Amino acid sequence: MRVRNPLFSPLMPDQQKAQTLTGSFRTHERLRSRFLDSAHDLIVYLPPGYDEDRERRYPVLYMQDGQNLFDDATAFSGAWHLDDAEEQLIAAGMAAPLIIVGIYNAGAYRIDEYTPTRDAAKRAGGKADRYGRMLVEELKPFIDAEYRTLADARNTGIGGSSLGGLVSLYLALKYSGIFWKVAVISPSVWWDNRFIVRRVRALGAAPPLRVWLSTGTEEGEGVVAGARRVRDALVAKGWRESDTLHYQEVEGAAHSEAAWSELAPAMLHFLFPAER
């Protein structure tokens, strides 16, 4: 059963949409960075029991496009409902309780911040390194200080969809000593003539990174082929399917929050399974 949180006021809500939040949340508005021109809002999901057990610490998943993760009132076209998925998995003993940090995208700056190179054809992009420094040098230390986290790489993940999936894989590879889990959902492999494929192929060896990679078959021309290129590059570097790599093509799935919502439980279970 969905339980609304009446104490939480979402950042910049659409008053025409009903609020859809399950569980406990905190927000942090307009956090500034010395690396970026834009400020970022945060929404932080806290697992059941967080406020009662003051000793326990939790894994953390940092997710891009934070306004789309939990609440229909702030989402682009409906939320992923990661809060529902996580609470149901915890109750079923299938996923570890974790903190999920939703980083709101920066609107007009989103393309620049979520892309690792400047695409000459698009005349945009190329600030993912700066975005990554914000996340690693400013945001993660802030979250680790503000919340009871398990701050080591084994307990830290990053993820996103579309351009958010692209930047998440790029940063997970760059900061493999900080993130050991990554959700790469419907990634924009096409960016800069498939730069991310070249980046994977340039690796010396596979870092200790657990990768969820998925795409839908109805996302557009060349999307599945692009995802397969990333999968093949990862496997060539040492990732093992059904072990350190989950690869999935979802028949009939479009490039949408609704499709990603359907994948959320399996993704959380794969990256953060319950301890046995």
User: Which residues touch 89 (CB under 8 Å, ≥6 apart)?
Assistant: 95, 265, 268, 269, 274
Is the pLDDT at 3 greater than 60? The verdict is no
**pLDDT computed for residue 1 by the predictor:** 26
pLDDT digits (tens, 9 = 90+) for 108-157: 999 999 999 998 777 789 999 999 999 999 999 999 999 999 999 999 99
**pLDDT computed for residue 157 by the predictor:** 98
pLDDT digits (tens, 9 = 90+) for 32-91: 999 999 999 999 999 999 999 999 999 999 999 999 999 999 988 889 999 999 999 999
Residue 101 domain flag: yes
Asked which of 1-10, 118-127, 204-213 is least confident by mean pLDDT, the reply is 1-10
**pLDDT computed for residue 124 by the predictor:** 85
63: domain range? Answer: 24-271
Tell me which DSSP letter residue 107 carries: G
Residue 1 domain flag: no
Is the pLDDT at 12 greater than 70? The verdict is no
Between 240 and 4, where is the model more confident?
240
Give the CATH number for residue 211. Answer: 3.40.50.1820
Tell me which DSSP letter residue 274 carries: P
Alpha carbon of residue 129 to chain centroid: 17
Half-sphere exposure of 154 (CA within 13 A, CB side): 2
Q: Any idea what the Cα angle at residue 159 is, between residues 155 and 162, rounded to 5°?
A: 170
Sheet holding 40-46, edge to edge: 24-31, 40-46, 99-103, 60-63, 156-161, 181-185, 210-216, 245-250
Calpha distance 168→149 (Å, rounded): 20
Residue 276 domain flag: no
Residue 258 domain flag: yes
What percentage of the chain carries pLDDT values higher than 90? 86
Token pair belonging to 121: 């054809």
Is the pLDDT at 211 greater than 80? The verdict is yes
Residue 47 domain flag: yes
Residue 210 domain flag: yes
Q: Answer whether 0.85 is exceeded by the pTM.
A: yes
**pLDDT computed for residue 78 by the predictor:** 85
* Number of structural domains found in the chain: 1
Residue 19 domain flag: no
